[in-house]
Amino acid sequence: MITLYHWADGQKVDGKSGRFSDVTNPATGEVTASLPLASSEEADEVIAAAAAAFPAWRDTSLASRSQILFRFRELLNARSAELAAIITSEHGKVLSDAAGEVARGQEVVEFACGAPHLLKGSSTENASTNVDVASIRQPLGVVGIISPFNFPAMVPMWFFPIAIAAGNTVVLKPSEKVPTAALWIAELWKEAGLPDGVFNVLNGDKTAVDALLSSSDVKTISFVGSTPIARYVYETGTAHGKRVQALGGAKNHMVVLPDADLDLAADQAINAGFGSAGERCMAISALVAVGDIADTLVSKIKDRAVALRTGDGTRGCDMGPLVTSVAQQRVSAYIDAGESAGATLVVDGRQGSFDATGSGFFVGPTLFDHVETGMSIYTDEIFGPVLSVVRVDSYEDAVELINANPYGNGTAIFTNDGGAARRFQNEVQVGMIGINVPVPVPMAYYSFGGWKNSLFGDTHAHGTEGFHFFTHGKVVTSRWPAPSHGGINLNFPQNT
Ligand code: NAD
């Protein structure tokens, strides 16, 4: 077992608080590392390293900054398999899925390589007589990123490539369940030539988060995690005068209309319900079957679910374990609750054999039918491989269900009716919509974010909104007077 560390000013920093948490391999149950949890003082030291690096990084030319991003991209392309293996060893998701996560994060690096174009301002000559106006965007300072366990690389990469390209310095506080990806990325930045102190990793729990939220050096917070913590981070961070984007939890519905291709819908329900063992904020957890297709659709999903191979993510399985034994117990308890509440348990993930050695945190694919909206398996974000089928009579009932839900992250509709799909995208109160696409995660050059309890703040992640979030706007109005100038005039300036 190894002892991990923080990363500040381009080097490893040992923990001094005396507080540690265990990092486990979820496929075996084995404790693989001990993670130091920062005290407030240690957090302040990491933040201070980022603050000290800011003036020089801010003044580094855009050309030089983007060259470092290009080098980071090249290194990550060459070594992405190493990062995927780290993700699998701490999160549990299967290797191919971990590689997909890295690739989606890399898209944001590639987008951020276009910073020179994306940071361009505009200018107007002779806006008023002999007066020119120009807009510019400038970095803010130290940015704090607080990430969840379920995407150890991709979620931090939604933010830091853009923040760094825009001239900010970063303190990343990864989830204590999956810290090694962030530390690996820190070393990659160093190899790419990023100056020391521009990218820092602060390991810890609430104490570290609170230090970021209250530090006057930290100008923005990008948080991703569960809704109660997202709300807390948003309220506390904004109370301290920071810009905050706090992405929260989800309960994503997939509507299947009677005219849909049911084999396609069944395949995609499996992919979106059980990929990463359901530990995705864009996972489909509620399947809304409209009209008389439900029996056929449930039977098709069942056939596919029982054929999935669940086990160690390094063994070519379809689905890996849950992240911790606590998560495993929580998901099993939800299955118990669904059964007791009277839903029909079609496939029971508590049973079954798993392709792994040791005591991994496995729950197999689970399918419930005849789920009612008052049941906890419907109301709560389970964050596990549990797919609930809710039967409704009409398209209108399906939309009403989605719009009544307190979350609004992603949703999908499966149909061959273009008119119904167009109506759906117009009427549904959700941030990311898939039409015959079950997990509609936007490309890096668009922005990622939900509505309602799935996002606090008004800025989504990456895309042009990302550059906007990590910069201040400034408008410069200038006149280079001729020898004769206008003299004194106390009226409000008017354009002539
Ligand atoms: P979490 O809220 O438990 O933890 C997220 C981060 O907050 C971690 O870094 C953790 O250390 C920190 N944290 C935990 N408790 C805290 C507290 N009391 N005070 C301050 N900080 C605290 O979330 P998780 O379990 O790591 O991740 C799963 C959740 O994240 C799910 O709800 C999922 O839907 C959500 N998620 C959302 C998105 C999105 O884009 N909306 C993406 C990924 C995950």
- 27, 119, 281, 377: the catalytic one is 281
* Ligand 1 neighbour 149 (Cβ under 6 A): yes
Q: Are 159 and 461 in contact (CB under 8 A)?
A: yes
Q: Which atom of ligand 1 is nearest to the CA of 226?
A: 32
For the chain, percent of residues with pLDDT exceeding 90:
96
Ligand 1 centre and the CA of 323: distance in Å? 13
How many other C-beta atoms can be found within 10 angstroms of the C-beta atom of residue 382?
Answer: 26
Whether the model clears a pTM of 0.95, i.e. scores above it, the answer is yes
Instruction: Give me the pLDDT at residue 483, please.
Output: 66
Of 42, 59, 55, whose CA–CA distance to 7 is shortest?
Answer: 42
**Secondary structure of 82-110 as H, E, C letters:** HHHHHHHHHHCCCHHHHHHHHHHHHHHHH
User: What is the pLDDT at residue 494?
Assistant: 85
Q: Cα of 225 to ligand 1 centre, how many Å?
A: 2
Q: What is the pLDDT of residue 496?
A: 78
Kindly state if the Cβ of 380 falls inside 6 Å of ligand 1.
no
pLDDT 10s digits, 129-153: 989 999 999 999 999 999 999 999 9
Atom of ligand 1 nearest to the CA of 247: 41
Question: Among the atoms of ligand 1, which is closest to the Cα of residue 449?
Answer: 40
Q: Is 113 a catalytic residue?
A: no
Round to whole Å and give the CA distance between 425 and 413.
9
Tell me: pLDDT of 16 over 70: yes
Average of per-residue pLDDT values in the chain = 97
Q: For residue 1, what pLDDT band results from cuts at 50, 70 and 90?
A: confident
SS3 387: strand
For residue 224, the CA-to-ligand 1 centroid distance in Å is 6
Report the length, in residues, of the chain: 496
How sure is the predictor about 486, in pLDDT bands with cuts at 50, 70 and 90? confident
Average pLDDT of the residues in 251-256: 98
Q: In sequence order, what are the residues at sequence separation of 6 or more whose Cβ sits closer than 8 angstroms to the Cβ of residue 189?
A: 72, 198, 199
Half-sphere exposure of 474 (CA within 13 A, CB side): 10
Residue tagged 């706007």 (tokens)? 473
* pLDDT above 70 coverage of the chain, percent: 99
Between CA 68 and CA 195 the distance in angstroms is: 10
Q: What are phi and psi of 175, to 5 degrees?
A: -65, 140
246 CA from centroid of ligand 1 (Å): 10
User: What does the pLDDT look like over 17-47, one tens digit per residue?
Assistant: 999 999 999 999 999 999 999 999 999 999 9
Q: What number is the average pLDDT over the span 104-117?
A: 98
**Residue 484 — pLDDT band, cuts 50, 70, 90?**
low
Q: Is 339 in the pocket of ligand 1 (CB under 6 A)?
A: no
Average pLDDT over residues 101-114: 98
- Whole-number Å distance, alpha carbon 421 to ligand 1 midpoint, is 32
CA neighbor of 323 nearest in space, from 269, 278, 379:
278
| Helical (H) or strand (E) element with 273 | helix 262-274
Query: What sign for the dihedral angle of Cα 220, 223, 227, 233?
Result: negative
Mean pLDDT throughout 236-253?
98
Residue with tokens 């029982």: 306
- Which residue from 175, 221, 233, 380 has its CB within 8 A of the most atoms of ligand 1, so it is best to mutate? 175
Residue minimizing CA distance to atom 18 of ligand 1: 206
Establish whether residue 148 lines the binding site of ligand 1, counting it when its CB lies within 6 angstroms of any ligand atom.
Answer: yes
104 within 8 A of 462, measured Cβ to Cβ: no
pLDDT in tens, 153-169: 999 999 999 999 999 99
Residue-wise over 456-482: b if at least 16 C-beta within 10 A, else e? bbebbbbbebbbbbbbeeeeeeeeeee
The residue type found at 143 is V
Q: Which amino acid makes up residue 4? A: L
Atom number in ligand 1 closest to CA 151: 43
